[in-house]
Amino acid sequence: MSDPAAGVGRYLIQTWGCQMNSHDSEKLAGLLEERGYLPADSPAEADIILLNTCSIREKAAEKVFSHLGTLRPLKEARPSLVIGVCGCVAQQEGESIFRRAGLVDIVLGPRAIESLPAMLEQVLRERARALDLARREDSIAFEGRRVRRAPGPRAYLTVMEGCNKTCTYCIVPTTRGRETSKRAEAVLQETRDLAEAGYREVELLGQNVNAYRDGRTHLGDLLCMLQEVPDIRRLRFTTSHPAHLSLEIIHAIRECPTVCEHLHLPVQSGSDSVLERMRRGYNSSRYLDRVDKLRTHVPDIALSTDIIVGYPGETRAEFQETLDFLQKVKFDQVYSFIYSPRPGTTALDEQDGVPAAEKQARLAQIQSVQQEIQLGRNRSLLGSRLEVLVDGAARRGRGQLKGRSRSNRVVNFPGDFHRVGEFVQVFIESAGANSLEGRIAPAPGA
């Protein structure tokens, strides 16, 4: 709670959803800290609580309302507590959030983040509710120094926002609006600032990041431009759409030394008929062609993907095509989800017909097939050395560190905490489906 030594008060931000949302929380935190707020450790300590929400699946959206319920006793005991709902649920539900959850003071859409300070002032001064759902074209330009990033050597940087695609199941174009790209010069400057602040890896973010475009500069050019920031030793970008994976981008991955050999390329389904019903704009052979090109140019590239099971009307045969597809591509990581109907999306009008239990069974099957594939791919790394950027302490306890390889694999190994932020060579001694273990090897030539 507010005490004069703690500035104007304490804030807590709880985040759901994707990297874009995590980074938006860092922007919200930056705005609050600029005004003298300090982080709180728990809801009971906070003067302002923001829920930065995700609406990609129904469960994620519903969690917000059950979470708000748990905050009710705090708000009743302390009416001065300010509660805000930000992110994709805010954009999608808007004003109705005030009716459904009377304790909410602020509803703030993801393209209107910069309004937070003014809204907070309005709430505190007038004890009135504040809502901003504007999808500002220039929201992309807001970042600069007003970001309070999570600790560690890796930084997110937004380079584009929004999505112009029309995938039938997806709420994102509604919640995040049309595509807008940040000026390349601004991306370069912000990357230099990140290097100066001590970051060593930058992940460029955008809902459809490989559609990035600033005049004639596309994502491939941008990645090449960023090579001139020598202290940034690793670049990644997410999330990519297969239809925009140009040869220029593939060349940039091959030619630019700091661009990591990892690509997240959501395929959603291995069945052409499902892909067509989803209006994804490619079929399985076009996707496979991209994978071939990637592997020809960058042989050790790691690939991850997203799969939706139980899309309306998905037959057993169509599902089998997705299983076969996983065997064909052998991804390094797969995130799989049961289709969730979202308000305002066109897939809502399609006949479903796949029973819930069958969808669960399909999800389990995808996961078990993929576990085996991942285990095989990770085992092939036994005995090799990987360059790992040390992120922090591993969950497994004292003296254990964790980090990521260039291929985005999680690697655990014993080591001293002072190595966080360093690049180390790790000799891989054991491999699970989701992580590797090893020990620090002497640097080559040492």
Q: Which residues bind ligand 5AD (CB under 6 A)?
A: 56-57, 169-170, 266, 268, 306, 308, 337, 339-340, 342
Of residues 319, 300, 298, the one with CA closest to residue 310: 319
- From candidates 104, 172, 195, 223, binder to ligand SF4 by CB under 6 A: 172
- Nearest CB to ligand 5AD, comparing residues 361 and 393: 361
Q: Kindly indicate which of the ranges 151-159, 169-177, 220-228, 240-248 contains the residues binding ligand SF4, using the contact rule CB under 6 A.
A: 169-177
Q: Does 208 bind ligand SF4 (CB under 6 A)?
A: no
Instruction: Candidates 18, 124, 141, 433: give the one binding ligand SF4 (CB under 6 A).
Output: 18
Could you tell me the smallest distance in angstroms from the CB atom of residue 175 to ligand SF4? 5
337 binds, among ligand 5AD, ligand SF4, none (CB under 5 to 8 A by kind): ligand 5AD
Sheet strands side by side (includes 130-132) = 37-39, 9-15, 48-53, 82-86, 106-108, 130-132
Q: How far is the CB of 407 from ligand 5AD (least distance, A)?
A: 20
Residues in the chain: 446
Closest by CA position to 424, among listed 404, 398, 445, 410: 404
Task: Name the residue nearer to ligand SF4 (CB basis): 171 or 420.
Answer: 171
Which does residue 308 bind out of ligand 5AD, ligand SF4, none, counting CB within 5 to 8 angstroms by kind?
ligand 5AD
Residue nearest ligand 5AD, Cβ-based:
306
Place of tokens 């935190």: 29
Q: Is 175 in the site for ligand SF4 (CB under 6 A)?
A: yes
Instruction: Identify the residue among 136, 176, 234, 241 touching ligand SF4 (CB under 6 A).
Output: 176
CA separation (Å) from 242 to 186, 277, 387?
A: 26, 16, 28
The label of the residue with tokens 């907070």 reads 120
Contact pick of 84, 87, 220, 415 for ligand SF4 (by CB under 6 A): 87
Shortest gap between Cβ of 88 and ligand 5AD (angstroms)? Answer: 11
Q: Which residues bind ligand SF4 (CB under 6 A)?
A: 17-18, 20-21, 54-56, 87-88, 171-172, 175-176, 207
